Structure 1
Amino acid sequence: MSLPNPYQSYQNNSVQTASPGELTLMLYNGCLKFITQAKQAIHNKNLQEKNTNCLKAQKIIQELMVTLNMDAPVSQTLMPMYDYLNRLLIDANVQGSIEILDEVESFVTEFRDTWKEVIQINRRQQYGQGGRV
């Protein structure tokens, strides 16, 4: 009988108890992590690792696309941006391009930072000035 991995248990609990806004933030952070790993794999000339991490980043962008509420006006802007990022990730994977991954990373970082700020503003409005992410 194997012992449960405490880190894995913590991660599962974090995902299960997160708000939709926090889940989106986790997706952005995960995407950035996989982009960083893909860039390192390109640097190390590890094609399999590059491919795996580019595909993981793509899956996250696709998840963000699928979960957009298309009734919200901001979604009309985000959908083409996510589609663009998805295509860039494909190109980066095929070409093994750190430069293209840098571009995707820049966009995702900006989305993540904006999303984090929105969560903080919402928490301050809901709970007072003490809300933090």
Structure 2
Amino acid sequence: MYAQNYARTYRANSILTASPGQLVLLLFDAALNSLAIARQACDHAPADPRQYEIVNAQLTKAQKIIAELQGTLNLEAGGDFARTMHQLYDYYDRRLVEANLRKQSAPIAEVERLLGEVRNAWSEMLRQQETSVPSPALHHVA
């Protein structure tokens, strides 16, 4: 019980003290976590149909997070790159809707892989910014 409270407090504090760039990274991580849970539940659902409820809940959560990431894009400042990311987030959403409707794990795995690549690129960009000259606050254009 106490461990859960400490973990909850730690998560809350890490969110409150995170930079804008780190908050985006936390969103990526939360979406990837939901996708992993959904994929595993989908794989086990034929043996236990109750798992489909988990699939639906976790995919819905991931879609909301992806929509939030998409909403933080600055299409004016980000130019073609931001527009491409906007389209990519749309693609992720369509694939997750398909996965949920057809109860298939392959589209979930695809989005998980692609979003993981974007997450890793974002993380690397943050790491490089930390080691270079300080710059103004990051705005999510990726």
Common fold by TM > 0.5? yes
Alignment of 1:77-92 (within 5 A): 77-92=84-99
1:40 aligned residue: 40
> Cα deviations across residues 2-40 of structure 1 (Å, max 9, x unaligned)?
978111111001011101110111111111111110011
Q: Report deviation, 1:126.
A: 3.0
CA deviations 1:35-90 (Å, max 9, x no partner) are: 11001111221110000000011011000111111111221111000011011111
Percentage of matched positions with identical amino acids: 34
Unaligned runs of 5+ in 2: 46-50, 135-142
What stretches of structure 1 of length at least 5 have no aligned partner?
128-133
| Count of residues in Structure 1 that have an aligned counterpart in Structure 2 | 126
Runs of 4+ in 1 over 2 A off after TM superposition: none
Give distance in 1, aligned partners of 2:103 and 2:122: 29
1:63 corresponds to: 68
Greater relative contact order, per chain length (Cα 8 Å cut-off, separation 6+): 2
TM-score, scaled to structure 1 = 0.89
Note the aligned Cα RMSD (angstroms).
1.6
Aligned residue number for residue 137 of structure 2: none
